Amino acid sequence: GDSVTQMEGPVTLSEEAFLTINCTYTATGYPSLFWYVQYPGEGLQLLLKATKADDKGSNKGFEATYRKETTSFHLEKGSVQVSDSAVYFCALSDYRDDKIIFGKGTRLHILP
């Protein structure tokens, strides 16, 4: 079945460093891809999405490009802030059955 694999954390960076969180997927169809962020004790918030190959999703300085040839959707940010500390989840959704499948999440710590 469909699945999502993302890099294990925690990832610890200094403020203003460049961030990459890797995400790869396996899907039989043509899924939409998403990144969500979760702050402590809260639900998930949609960060960005891409619905077809070569689409780039972006929001709040974060970007991710839907790469069909490498089945990847890596999350990047040029200069992280302490407030970016959270858990980040990569996910996919197939329009055929509406299921949303999540990766295990990557915890990000940003040091001042």
Partner 1 sequence: DGGITQSPKYLFRKEGQNVTLSCEQNLNHDAMYWYRQDPGQGLRLIYYSQIVNDFQKGDIAEGYSVSREKKESFPLTVTSAQKNPTAFYLCASSPPAGGAFFGPGTRLTVL
List residues binding partner 1 (CB under 8 A).
32, 34, 36, 41-46, 49, 51, 89, 93, 95, 97-105
Which of 86, 93 has the CB closer to partner 1?
Answer: 93
Q: Closest distance between partner 1 and the C-beta of residue 96, in Å?
A: 11
Q: Closest distance between partner 1 and the C-beta of residue 69, in Å?
A: 22
Considering just the CA atoms, what is the radius of gyration of the chain in Å?
A: 13
Identity of the residue numbered 76: E
Q: What is the 3-state secondary structure (H, E, C) of 64-83?
A: EECECCCCECCEEECCCCHH
Which of 68, 99 has the CB closer to partner 1?
Answer: 99
Which of 69, 97 has the CB closer to partner 1?
Answer: 97
| 88 within 8 A of 37, measured Cβ to Cβ | yes
The rounded distance, in Å, linking the Cα atoms of 112 and 109 is 10
Q: Closest distance between partner 1 and the C-beta of residue 37, in Å?
A: 11
Q: Closest distance between partner 1 and the C-beta of residue 13, in Å?
A: 20
Which of 49, 77 has the CB closer to partner 1?
Answer: 49
Phi-psi region at 54: left, alpha or beta (left = phi > 0; alpha = psi -120 to 50)? left
DSSP single-letter state for residue 30: -
